[in-house]
Amino acid sequence: MQYDSLIIGSSPLMILEAIYLTISGKKVIIVEKNNYLGGAWYLLNFFEHKSIESGCHIWYRDKKVYNFLKNEFRINMESCYPQPIIIFNNVRLPYKWKPLIHFFSMIKSFKRKRSIINFIRTAKQESSIVSQYFYPKSGSVELMKKLFFLVEKMNIKVIRNQATKKIVLNEGALTATLNNNKKIHCLEVVAGSHSELGEVYYDGKIEHIKNNFENSNHTIHILIKGHSKKSFSYIHLIGNDKLIRVSDLTFQLNKGCKDSLFCIQITDDLFKEKGNTADTVAIALDELKRQNLVIKNAEVVKYKFSNYTCQYRNFEQTKNIKYKIGSHVRFLNTINLIYSFGRHIKRWKVLDKNRVIKSYF
């Protein structure tokens, strides 16, 4: 079978690309290395509570994107209450100050070159005329479920549990080889910012694309007895040696549950020291208490560890491929959900001139 487009990975942006290409009449296949879809936005089951967000998430401020999701996908958005914050050196600051705070924290730790690059990147992603952060009423779960629904309704072929390991371009014909050696023939391969490309053969030579550093994210979902929390929505802790991010997912628990659910991303150091043990949970809870995010006698009912690992595409190395065979291997910016959405909306809207997506909801 010959496909028009092979999409590497199944993050929301890659699924959306697959959907829009399908709407525009293309035959599309998604290949996903994991046995679940969603990339960094996959959903997990927390005991009897199904389809809970797997990570601490924030939607950056962009009115155009918020409106697009509201109008096309009928996503029920509401202003985060309270608004997301950063805790930096025990001081609470508005999340929108993140580029500046990052800049100063990196200058302090003598990472000057990275601090400037990071400042420009986050300032670009975080510059907005919208003053407030919005989030779907039932969480990103709503968007993910709608995307999975569309993949099914549109009969988009999905291969899970397999990674593309080799892409060969020979006399205009493109063939991708999967881990199980199955070959997929297609006209283009679409890669996101975290797609691992493996080996790419073109012009009679091989490029071994080595991805940049691996980013391992250790997360604990903790159910706390009763309403023992202080009010917050999403918090990024900069410079904390135990916690990186915390979000309140209580609203995603089954109706009638009287407890509170927190999603906590812990540092690599804490994970290396204590692993996925009750000790780690106790340390994380103590830190939440110290930061005054839960009441002092808060008790853990149950918890679940998970890990999401991804790699950053080597942008330097793929520049050459982009230049030489960009019409066969297309790279999408998917680095940050809302920012990347903003970069693709116009093209997606053109592909969906008959408002097909809207008609599904």
Which residues of the chain form contacts with ligand FAD (CB under 6 A)? 8-11, 13-14, 31-34, 39-41, 55, 57-58, 60, 163-164, 192-196, 215, 217, 308, 310, 334, 336-338
Q: Which residue is nearest to ligand FAD (CB)?
A: 9
Using the minimum distance from each CB to ligand FAD, give the nearer residue, 140 or 260: 140
Residue 95: exposure state from Cβ atoms within 10 A (0-12, 13-18, ≥19): buried
**Least distance in Å: CB of 161 to ligand FAD?**
9
**Least distance in Å: CB of 162 to ligand FAD?**
7
Inter-residue contact 335 to 55 (CB < 8 Å):
no
Using the minimum distance from each CB to ligand FAD, give the nearer residue, 22 or 298: 22
**Least distance in Å: CB of 144 to ligand FAD?**
11
**Least distance in Å: CB of 339 to ligand FAD?**
7
Using the minimum distance from each CB to ligand FAD, give the nearer residue, 105 or 177: 177
Report how far apart the first and last C-alpha atoms of the chain are (Å, whole number): 31
**Least distance in Å: CB of 321 to ligand FAD?**
14
Strand partners, 238: 88
Using the minimum distance from each CB to ligand FAD, give the nearer residue, 23 or 235: 235
CA 284 to chain CA mean position, Å: 23
Using the minimum distance from each CB to ligand FAD, give the nearer residue, 42 or 119: 42
Using the minimum distance from each CB to ligand FAD, give the nearer residue, 12 or 298: 12
CA distances from 181 to 4, 162, 176, 205 (A): 20, 10, 9, 20
3-class SS string, 129-154:
CCCCCEEECCCCHHHHHHHHHHHHHC
**Least distance in Å: CB of 191 to ligand FAD?**
8
Which residue in the block uniquely carries the two structure tokens 């560890």? 305
Q: At what angle do helices 112-126 and 98-108 cross, to 10 degrees?
A: 180
Using the minimum distance from each CB to ligand FAD, give the nearer residue, 33 or 102: 33
Using the minimum distance from each CB to ligand FAD, give the nearer residue, 141 or 310: 310
Encoding tokens for residue 344? 């693709």
**Least distance in Å: CB of 239 to ligand FAD?**
19
**Least distance in Å: CB of 163 to ligand FAD?**
3
